[in-house]
Structure 1
Amino acid sequence: MDKIGFKLNKINTQQFAIIDDSYSSEKDDFTIETNLGFGIDSKNAAIISLVKIEFEQDQNPFLIIEVSCEFDISSEFWKEFDNKDKVRIPKGFMAHLAMITVGTTRGILHSKTENTKFNEFILPTLNITEMITEDGVFKK
């Protein structure tokens, strides 16, 4: 399966928060906590990719963003994924959808922090293929 037919159907900002009291501009160090999640809608042949990012100082989040992207999969390819009671999504395709979601999250983060001191926090590039190491198997 070389190419999988799909389209981005919907973008949702699930969560966005700036916690000003948890951030000190006097400290240079911060960490980024990254979480990826996936879900399926087997009735509508759709995959949901979710990215949650937390910028933290001293293990306290000061900037939180969570975004989901819903992707419609063409019926001919959905048939390849669909078994009796499970849906198996190839890891490479999941990584591709996650990369789109991360890029979308980066843009939303920029837009929501524009003209604030938090606009300097840009989501760096992530090696998604290292994060997704096996096919996704979902129960219907």
Structure 2
Amino acid sequence: MDNLNQTISFALAKITTEQFAIIENDLSLDSLNLESNFRFAADKEKKMVGVFAKFSFSSDQNPFMIIECGCHFRIQPDAWEKLLSKEENSITFPKSIIQHLTVITVGTTRGVLHAKTENTKYNHLFLPTINLQEMITDDHKFTF
């Protein structure tokens, strides 16, 4: 499906902060860990795809900061129709477009994290670069 990537037009329609929490703990900066999780959703009526990126910072196995942001992308109607399978009541997006939308979402989350931690002791923490080509290896099918 990667050849369709060139014809999929989209716009970032909305950004949401799904969750943000700082849990005050005694931190050991020697043993920081970062876990990431991504989830995806589609809205058939609005022709939108949501990409959600969640990151959990922990120290000595204890989480101390959690952030999850969502980017909601409006897909151009012609592109949506090309990807839609009416027989299966589903839509399948090529992995390359899902990777691209996820890169945008991670970058957005990085900015939200900076804004939420500005002028705090946590502002030195950031989201590193992530190789999403290794994490997202297949096309993504949404069934309605």
Band of TM-score, shorter chain: over 0.9
Aligned mate of 2:129, from 125, 132, 136: 125
Structure 2 residue ranges without an equivalent (≥5): none
After superposition, give the CA deviation of every residue in 1:77-98 in whole Å (9 maximum; x if it has no partner): 0011110211101110000000
RMSD of aligned Cα (Å):
1.0
In structure 2, how many angstroms separate the alpha carbons of the residues matched to 1:107 and 1:27? 22
Given that 2:48 and 2:73 are in contact with CA atoms closer than 8 Å, whether structure 1 keeps it comes out as yes
* Structure 1 counterpart of 2:114: 110
* Structure 2 counterpart of 1:52: 54
AA paired with 2:110? R
Q: May I ask how many residue pairs the two structures share in their alignment? A: 138
In structure 2, how many angstroms separate the alpha carbons of the residues matched to 1:3 and 1:17? 39
Identity among equivalent positions (%) equals 45
Structure 1 residue ranges without an equivalent (≥5): none
AA paired with 2:31? D
Q: What SS is found at the alignment partner of 1:103?
A: helix
AA paired with 1:139? T
Q: Which runs of 4+ in 1 moved over 2 A?
A: none
In structure 1, how many angstroms separate the alpha carbons of the residues matched to 2:85 and 2:45? 13
In structure 2, how many angstroms separate the alpha carbons of the residues matched to 1:121 and 1:27? 10
AA paired with 1:65? I
Q: What SS is found at the alignment partner of 2:30?
A: coil
* Structure 2 counterpart of 1:31: 33
The 5 Å alignment of 1:1-140 reads: 1=4, 2-21=6-25, 23-24=26-27, 26-84=28-86, 85-140=89-144
Q: What SS is found at the alignment partner of 1:129?
A: helix
